Amino acid sequence: MGSKFWPKRGSPGTLHHFTETLITFEFGSSSARQPHSILFVGGLGDGLGTTSYVADMVRGLQPTEWSLFALNLTSSHQGWGFGHLDRDTDEIAQCLDYIADYKTARFGPGGRVVLMGHSTGSQCVLHYLSRPNPHAGGAPAFDPGLEHVRRPVLDGAIMQAPVSDREAVLWIMREGFLGRTPAEMRASYDALVRMARDAVRDADPAWDTMLPIALTSHFGYAANTPISCRRFLSLVSPGSPQAPSEDDMFSSDLGDACLAETFGKIRGGGLLRGKLMVLMSGADQAVPDWVDKEKLLARWRDAADHHGAAAVWDRARSGLIPGASHALSNDDQAEPRKFLTGRVLSYLAEVEGGGVI
């Protein structure tokens, strides 16, 4: 995928260690004056250089005072199956602290910082903005190293291609998938949910348990990606819509009370100085045909803005990207990629100027 869009001679930049074992790559020339930063977080299975439209954004940022950072989380590439959003946002916060220190040392104070997520990266953005800071309760037994660090305030936040993993799974169960009938898909799903629930209930809480790859692969999950019982239940959220799991933020059937606990918490959380820009791919292959994308965006906007009582949503720029596929990586995606880059550059210019977005 990347070879069609990324420069064949590579992309210049600087590799940073923001912890002993985690890295972020800053695209661009080290001699350029770029005091402002956008940190990009990919989706499930993504890592450095795997979301190809980032190359378009990097080219668009060259004449500006913004540099783009992409990071490798513990959950990047094949690590997402044993990851969770609290771990992701802890590591994002550590990276943002590093970037702020690094840019201040080079250019002085006053640099702007924007967090952008693609696909499941959008869940990370919303989780970052809506949860208590720091999240109370200590580390879960299965992840004793989790710190729940204090998250720094953002100057802006962007979500691109937010989709519901649960509804995507429900869709392929309804239609059949990879040569399997709907009945066969339902049987695989029921078996996985049963095994996962039994393991979470009965296993030693200090350990997470891997589901059989022979079954998880029925849903298109890669054969080289182990998936834990906890993460699977979080993604497919069998208790939804009444009791959604952590990862189920974007399903179209979630009630207003659920949206009030995610989008509705952004303003009160105090972690966003500007506004939230949300872009949804107009032809997203992961969104079922029964979802009204415009209506769903309007419900998220109303929840974020408390039905007009607050000003969180970037109404001027949020919306559908016409004709865009999920990751804008197909051969016919030149115009959607141009549209996306233009919206991002416009948004960053407003953030840089400190104006009301």
User: Given 236, 265, 294, which residue is the final one in a domain?
Assistant: 236
Q: Count structural domains, the chain.
A: 2
Does 98 fall in a domain? yes
**Domain encompassing residue 111:** 2-163+252-353
Q: Which residues contact 84 (CB under 8 A, 6 or more apart)?
A: 75, 140, 143, 230, 231, 234, 246
- Same-domain status, 7 and 116: yes
Distance CA 123, CA 130 (A): 10
212 and 112 both lie in a single domain: no
Residue 194 and residue 305 in one domain: no
96 and 230, same domain (yes or no): no
Q: Do 113 and 171 reside in the same domain of the chain?
A: no
Query: 339 or 8, which is more confident?
Result: 339
Please indicate, yes or no, if residue 241 is contained in any of the structural domains. no
Residue 171 has pLDDT above 60, yes or no: yes
- Share the mean pLDDT of the chain: 93
Q: Do 91 and 186 sit in the same domain of this protein?
A: no
User: In this prediction, what percent of the chain has a pLDDT beyond 70?
Assistant: 97
Instruction: Read off the pLDDT of each residue in 76-87 and give the average, rounded to a whole number.
Output: 95
Do you find a cis peptide bond into 182, omega within 30 degrees of 0?
no
Based on the domain organization, do 96 and 146 belong to the same domain? yes
257 part of a folded domain: yes
pTM of the model: 0.95
Q: Is residue 232 domain-resident?
A: yes
Last residue of a domain, one of 236, 270, 291: 236
The residues, ordered by sequence, that sit 6+ positions from 297 with a Cβ below 8 Å of its Cβ are 278, 280, 318, 319, 320
Lowest mean pLDDT among 65-69, 174-178, 221-225, 292-296: 221-225
- 36-41, strands of its sheet edge to edge: 13-17, 23-27, 66-71, 36-41, 113-118, 156-160, 276-281, 319-321
Q: What is the CATH number of the domain that holds 278?
A: 3.40.50.1820
Give the tens place of pLDDT for each residue, 22-74.
999 999 887 889 999 999 999 999 998 889 999 999 999 999 999 999 999 99
- Extract the tokens encoding 45: 């299975």
pLDDT for res 9: 63
Same domain assignment for residues 37 and 154: yes
Residue 6 has pLDDT above 60, yes or no: no
Same domain? For 112 and 57 the reply is yes
CB 123 within 8 A of CB 85: yes
For the stretch 337-351, pLDDT in tens is 999 999 999 999 999
Identify the three-state secondary structure at position 23. strand
pLDDT of residue 206: 85
Distance (Å, whole) CA 144 – CA 261: 26
131 and 35 within one domain: yes
pLDDT at 1: 34
Q: How confident is the model at residue 142 (pLDDT cuts 50, 70, 90)?
A: confident
Element (H, E) at 85: helix 85-107
Asked whether residue 130 falls in the same domain as residue 269, the answer is yes
For 356, the token pair is 């009301």
Q: Write phi, then psi, for 106 (nearest 5 degrees).
A: -85, -40
Same domain for 334 and 266: yes
Q: Is the pLDDT of residue 310 over 90?
A: no
Task: Assess whether pLDDT exceeds 60 at residue 288.
Answer: yes
**Which range (27-36, 78-87, 164-173, 286-295) has the least confidence?**
27-36
Residue 355 clears pLDDT 50, i.e. is over it: no
Local confidence band at 278 (pLDDT 50, 70, 90 cut-offs): very high
| pLDDT digits 0-9 by tens, 174-220 | 999 999 999 999 999 999 999 999 999 988 888 889 999 999 999 99
221 pLDDT above the threshold of 80: yes
